Amino acid sequence: MTLDDLMDPPSKHYGDFLKFTLAQPESVSPANWQLANGTAVELWDTGVLVFNPPVTSGLDLILSSGIHGNETAPIGLCAAICQDMLQGKVVATQRVMFLFGNPPAMNAGKRELVDNLNRLFSGHHAKGPDEYSWERQRAANLEAYVTRFFQEGGSEKKRALYDLHTAIRGSKFEKFAVYPFLHGQPWSETQFEFLAACDVHTVLLMQTPASTFSYYASNSHGAAAFTIELGKVRPFGENDMSRFTACDHSLRRLITGASLKVPPFALANFNLFAVNRAINKTTEDFSLSFAANIENFTQLPVGSLLAIDGNTEYRVEEGGEAIIFPNANVALGQRAMLLVKPIDISGQTTRD
Ligand SMILES: [Zn+2]
């Protein structure tokens, strides 16, 4: 698929930026063109597309998907919005950047090729062997693109980055967001309202810095940023896209400057959790001690065995502890599971 196919109405792939990206997964020459509605489109790299409308409101928005290559639902969701914008059916009133994070892994149908891309931001890509993997180089490049996008918008603009994912396993709460550590700043009621408009009512509030894309955008650029988990990972073609209608509509309203259809913020409308502790994998002799298909946010009785790491046993220590993101197949030293607990943040939110 060529750039002309992407740009020109006669092509059956007109506006299909996902197909264009997957046809050139490692790199592509930059290009610029203009839509009939006056929006300037800039192709910066494979999977990196910027829309600059002639008149903009106050937001610079980044929508990323495919940071994990096999998380097809959010990739399809973003691809459809992007195609409607390229075809002029959706007219942006905000600057918008679409990012497909890991196109080679998307082609391979894998979460990653070598490194977990979402553990490489805020400079973590520079740690490790001198020879960079695709993911390490991509993380460095994505940081540069995010920096350039926000800098070109100017510091007076509001900034947001929504990094869309699907989880490896099912969840007691189908959709949930991870709110990166804010270093003591209050949580945003406007952003909680946006999450609710996306049918996301469960939020994990992080209390430490992280190597994720959303923490990077939040901490390095002052963006309202979230990792948003939209459900369980499935192959292309096997997603029930009706599960994502609220998210799809809300993103389109954000892009076009329409107001969100959502009731005013109230803490009672959310299930909020904070990390109680993390269990890291420290030996190759690491195993999880519960059923492989356990759902995120499952609570087990106090004393239940969670994992065995060499000679160390991990058990549920407190009532209310719930399991999230268990994964024995992580690299040594990385997080194999989080244990979270409900949290009350009354008085710690702000209207912004
Ligand atoms: Zn993911």
pLDDT over 90 percentage in the chain: 88
Gap from CA of 232 to ligand 1 centroid (Å): 10
Residues ≥6 apart with Cβ < 8 Å to 54: 38, 39, 40
pTM of the model: 0.95
What confidence tens digit (pLDDT) does each residue in 296-351 have? Answer: 999 999 999 999 999 999 999 999 899 999 999 998 998 999 999 999 999 999 99
Look over the chain and give the mean of its residue pLDDT values, rounded to a whole number. Answer: 95
Instruction: Give the angle subtended at the CA of 164 by the CAs of 159 and 168, to the nearest 5°.
Output: 150
Gap from CA of 166 to ligand 1 centroid (Å): 5
Task: Please report the pLDDT score of residue 243 as a whole number.
Answer: 86
42 carries an active-site annotation? no
Q: CA distances (Å), 40 to each of 12, 97, 274, 302, in order?
A: 22, 12, 41, 57
| Beta strand pairing call for 271-280 and 335-342 | antiparallel
Four-CA torsion 304, 111, 228, 74, nearest 10 degrees: -140
Task: Please report the pLDDT score of residue 102 as a whole number.
Answer: 98
With bands split at pLDDT 50, 70 and 90, how would you rate the model's confidence at 197? very high
Lowest average pLDDT, out of 90-94, 253-257, 331-335, 343-347, goes to 331-335
Task: Please report the pLDDT score of residue 168 as a whole number.
Answer: 81
Residues ≥6 apart with Cβ < 8 Å to 151: none
Gap from CA of 135 to ligand 1 centroid (Å): 14
Gap from CA of 316 to ligand 1 centroid (Å): 26
Task: Please give the average per-residue pLDDT across 31-42, as a whole number.
Answer: 97
Radius of gyration of the chain (CA): 20
Residue 324 pairs in a beta bridge with 338
Maximum alpha-carbon separation in the chain: 65
Residue 231 has pLDDT above 90, yes or no: no
- Which two structure tokens, joined as six digits, stand for 286? 């690491």
Task: Please report the pLDDT score of residue 192 as a whole number.
Answer: 97
Gap from CA of 67 to ligand 1 centroid (Å): 6
For the chain, how are helix, strand and coil distributed in percent, rounded to 5? 25, 25, 45
What confidence tens digit (pLDDT) does each residue in 128-158 have? Answer: 888 999 999 999 999 999 999 999 999 999 9
Q: Ligand 1 is a single-atom ion; what residues have CB below 5 A from it?
A: 68, 71, 165
* Unique residue bearing structure tokens 């005013």: 264
Q: How far apart are CA 224 and CA 311, in angstroms?
A: 42
- Spot the catalytic one: 229, 284, 318, 321: 229
Gap from CA of 68 to ligand 1 centroid (Å): 5
Gap from CA of 52 to ligand 1 centroid (Å): 28
